[in-house]
Amino acid sequence: MIRRRLYLLLALLGVGALAAAAPAGCARSAPCQLNSDCPVGYCANGSCQKNCVDASRDCPAGYSCDQNAQCVPGAGTGGGSSSASSVSAGGASSSSTGAGAASASSSAGAGASTSSSSSAAASASSTGTTASSGASSSSSGATMSGSGIELDLCTADGDCSSSLVCRPMTVGGASRCTRPCTSDSECWDGTRCESPTGASYCAFDDTGRPCTAGSTCNFGCLTSQQYCTSICATGADCPNGYGCMAVNGQNLCVKAEAPCSTGSAAACIAPAACDTSLQLLVTGCTLVCNTAADCPQRAAGLSPWTCDAGGICRRPPDVYGPLQNGATPAQYACNEEGVTVNVCNDGQHIDYGAFDIPNPPVVSCSATTTTAGIATDSCVDSCRYQGSCPYGFACTAVGSVGANRIGLCLPTGGGEVGAACVHDGDCVFGYCPSALGKCSRDCTGDGICPTGSTCTAAGAPAVEGQPFRRCQ
């Protein structure tokens, strides 16, 4: 069969935005993928929603109305005579380069510049890094005696135990009790040692968050590609779909899960722009490498990316395209054998709401563009606890490869651990076990659960060599 290379028509297919169908009726919620896509409220099941304005009238007792207009436990009376104000903080990007950061393995060419509001980034302005003045922390940094444990919502350091501080976990996001740190190894799964508001602490990894300036990100923004990034030593430090490559003298998490075509590689960072591996039906971005460890890392048990003799990361043979985690609807085409395959960056797809694998659509093998799956069919990436998932998703071990359990990047919402839920996307940590009907968190790797829950064995099989556990 003669090979046909397909190129996505982005304007027609709407890749990169969750496009859930709006319910019938007079009003429609705005479509979204991330909370930041919503002018007001939060993103759930592909649409913007708002639960509250005044906690005293809109929320149950003991709840407050957070910055996403959602009722959350704590810091308020709810159903009472007063409402609690939500907590949000803008901040400077990290001034730390992270402990153990590898030396540059390659030099990035044109098409990549970083923006950060940190003093460290400012010193690198001669390499093309821009800087702006940063905001200082809203807290003195002194810790006081309190009862809050890690991951608990808080409004001040005094809400947390003496070893912890109260800090926003993302720029402009809710504050939680967290630990001061000097390296990523001190932080729990899904967090990194960053300093968005001053001194370093364990904050959520916001790699992949849309940005135009470093002040939007916990560490910094790749301004040409418009997503947040962070320091890395290897690809294992980054979410699947991102590898570790030198950009302006720093090893940063660089996105590979983006389509490109001849003469159009704006989403990619030179010199390794487009991956033209023979099996690809839709070409995608890639990056330069010294070893395969620099490339994106799939879950253990799946075929790995490789670093070819020319120092370029190449996708494994079971991957046919570059569509990012969460791209909806997933797209399909025919491979060389005439078999219908998806063109997702990790080769996998799922219906997040129904939590099943939709059947592929009928595809004409003579088509020159991809064919969309059903409206709720989404690309999904596997994940490892170390690299976790991009912004808006959490790594939860609910997938499988043979007899082993693997993590999948599931969408996150606003429900705290213990809150009622129907879908994984209803929950802050992207996990709604159907047996519980309450939000949980995969605590397998770190044993950490917020107040009111404990890290409990949740049955075989194991994941990454550890018994699977969750907060309940």
Minimal CA–CA distance to 235: which of 289, 186, 309, 300? 289
Residues of the chain with pLDDT > 90, as a percent, come to 63
> Which residue's entry shows tokens 């996001």?
173
User: Rounded mean pLDDT of 299-310?
Assistant: 95
- Confirm if 292 and 105 have CB atoms less than 8 A apart: no
32: tokens are 């979204």
pLDDT (0 to 100) of residue 114? 54
Choice among 62-76, 294-308, 345-359, 363-377 with the minimum mean pLDDT? 62-76
327: tokens are 């791209």
pLDDT (0 to 100) of residue 429? 97
DSSP line for 120-160: HHHTTGGGT-EE---PPPSS--------B-TT-B-SSGGGB
Minimal CA–CA distance to 89: which of 218, 219, 192? 218
User: Rounded mean pLDDT of 445-463?
Assistant: 95
Residues of the chain with pLDDT > 70, as a percent, come to 68
User: Where do the DSSP E strands lie in 269-323?
Assistant: 274-275, 284-285, 306-307, 313-314
Compute the distance between CA of residue 174 and CA of residue 73 in angstroms, rounded to an integer.
Answer: 12
The pLDDT tens digits for 334-365 are: 999 999 999 999 999 999 999 999 999 999 99
DSSP state of 422: S
Q: At 194, is the secondary structure helix, strand, or coil?
A: strand
Choice among 98-102, 222-226, 301-305, 415-419 with the minimum mean pLDDT? 98-102
DSSP state of 433: -
pLDDT band at 34 (very low <50, low <70, confident <90, very high): low
How would you classify the pairing of strands 114-116 and 130-131?
A: parallel
User: Rounded mean pLDDT of 161-169?
Assistant: 94
- Confirm if 203 and 192 have CB atoms less than 8 A apart: yes
